[in-house]
Amino acid sequence: MSLREDYPGDSLSSGSAARLVQTLRMAGVGKLRVAVIGAGAAGLCAARHLLARRDIFAPPVVYELTERVGGTWVYEDRVGTDENGLPVHSSMYRDLRTNIPKEVMAFPDFPFDTHLSSFVHHTEVRRYLEKYCEHFRLREHIKFRTLVDAVKPVGAPTGWRGLAWDVTVTNSLRQKESVTERFDAVMVCNGHFYDPYIPPIPGLENFKGTLMHSHDYRCAEPLAGKSVVLLGAGLSGLDIAVELSKVDAQVTLSHGNRPLTCRLPPGVRQAPSVEKVLPDGALQFRDGELARPEVFLLCTGYNFTYPFLAAAPELGLRVQDHLVTPLYKFLLHPAYPSLFIVGICRAICPFPHFHCQTQYVLSVLDGSCPLPSREEMEREMTAEIESRRRRGIATRHILKLDSEQWDYNDELAQLAGFPPLPPYWKRLYEANKAFRAQDLLNYKTYSYAVLNKREWTVQRPQPEQQQQA
């Protein structure tokens, strides 16, 4: 009998999953074992809450490829490969400061230090995650320098809903010794800011200058005084354009969005998207204009990459045009509902988003949040994607929640029975987004303060300008 035929999850009635967990515990079968892949912000959040539920869950096993916690927030001056010949995952650049105020960027149960400015340097975010790790005593559960080679589903009559997972890892990068452990569930928290997406621009191989992706951008000085076409006006593209203007680079900000209406820094102008590269190396924009810059800098985002899941083709996991399917609630596999991919949604407030997703995952696993049948989950998932397409959302932007993240988070809270984020979270975040659109050059100098669950204030550069939500 195949695994899918043997999988009993679709036949469980409401509440039966919770009774199964309790029955297994009483029978001495043991607590649920969960593997967490990655010790960045999402993985640390998962581990913290698993440890807080020792009645149901065994201490988690967290697999981390590097020797440090923090994921993408660990700055690495090198690009390309590290000292072990592995790809450098961090896309952090030297002078990066957050574009989200710390007042809403933090995990709900662990605020940033109050003395810090609202928009903190990336070193402070890394320090914050290290403090989070130490405060909740997570380090002893992390297996550093460990590469996850394969994650495979297996039928297990005593497993969670008849399903278990074999996780094969290389324990030592030097010794290349592989071991396999079995778990009841897997939380994939490996992030998606390390595999650069290179758009299929016709003739790109013809470009004769320096071609680079923002993944390998570390500081502005090497580009001082140069002509740069920067493709992409997302948050990183705008941030880097501002940095380059400070070293007298002549920047053409090329993008397909509506023209920005805010004041841009000196030396930065806008242009339509690059349509192709001509045989002589010139870039041709969509309006027919040509440019011959010294540097073509791609701020075009990243691919979703899960090489360890490729060992299980039966999962049918597809990554196409920046959309990962099939995932119910953009989070769990409907046919294998103890596999969770955390944090794939884009344009979100990440740490509280991870918090909400983790609470939902644990409620699914402990049985307090019963899942619909596989067929119902697949229908709902398909309907959600089609609804977004009917609203004119391109496939590559379906995972871009933006202002819809708040309803998404609230829905998870309602389904799983955990407290939703306080109302100020949405209001402050959305106000900062508006300020950024209006005042790109100065919005990071604003200072926020939370007054209560609903109200907040912001102090702008001019002392007399203050707004209350």
Give 283-318 pLDDT, tens digit per residue.
999 999 999 999 999 999 999 999 999 889 999 999
3-state secondary structure 126-169: HHHHHHHHHHCCCHHHEECCCEEEEEEEEEEEEEECCEEEEEEE
Q: Is 349 exposed, middle or buried (0-12, 13-18, 19+ CB in 10 A)?
A: buried
Instruction: Say what percent of the chain tops pLDDT 70.
Output: 91
CA dist., res. 82 & res. 380, Å (int)? 43
Q: Is 253 exposed, middle or buried (0-12, 13-18, 19+ CB in 10 A)?
A: buried
Using the predicted structure, report yes or no on whether residue 17 has a pLDDT greater than 50: no
Using the predicted structure, report yes or no on whether residue 146 has a pLDDT greater than 90: yes
Confidence of residue 84 (pLDDT cuts 50, 70, 90): confident
CATH topology of domain 204-298: FAD/NAD(P)-binding domain (3.50.50)
Closest by CA to 395, choosing from 316, 298, 302, 320, is 320
Tally of residues, the chain: 469
Q: Give strand ranges (E) for 238-351.
A: 250-254, 268-271, 274-277, 283-285, 290-291, 295-298, 318-320, 323-325, 339-341
Residue ranges in 282-367 assigned as alpha helix (H): 350-366
Torsion, Cα of 345, 349, 355, 356 (10° steps): -60
Res 328: pLDDT:
98
Confidence of residue 273 (pLDDT cuts 50, 70, 90): very high
Give 382-425 pLDDT, tens digit per residue.
999 999 999 999 999 999 999 999 999 999 999 999 999 999 99
Res 174: pLDDT:
62
CB 321 within 8 A of CB 301: no
Give 316-374 pLDDT, tens digit per residue.
999 999 999 999 999 999 999 999 999 999 999 999 999 999 999 999 999 999 999 99
Name the average pLDDT for the chain: 91
The answer to whether the bond into 59 is cis (omega within 30° of 0) is: no
**204-298 shares the fold of 28-194+303-423:** yes
CATH topology of domain 28-194+303-423: FAD/NAD(P)-binding domain (3.50.50)
Question: How far is residue 455 CA from its own chain's centroid?
Answer: 28
CA dist., res. 105 & res. 119, Å (int)? 10
Residue boundaries of the structural domains of the chain:
28-194+303-423, 204-298
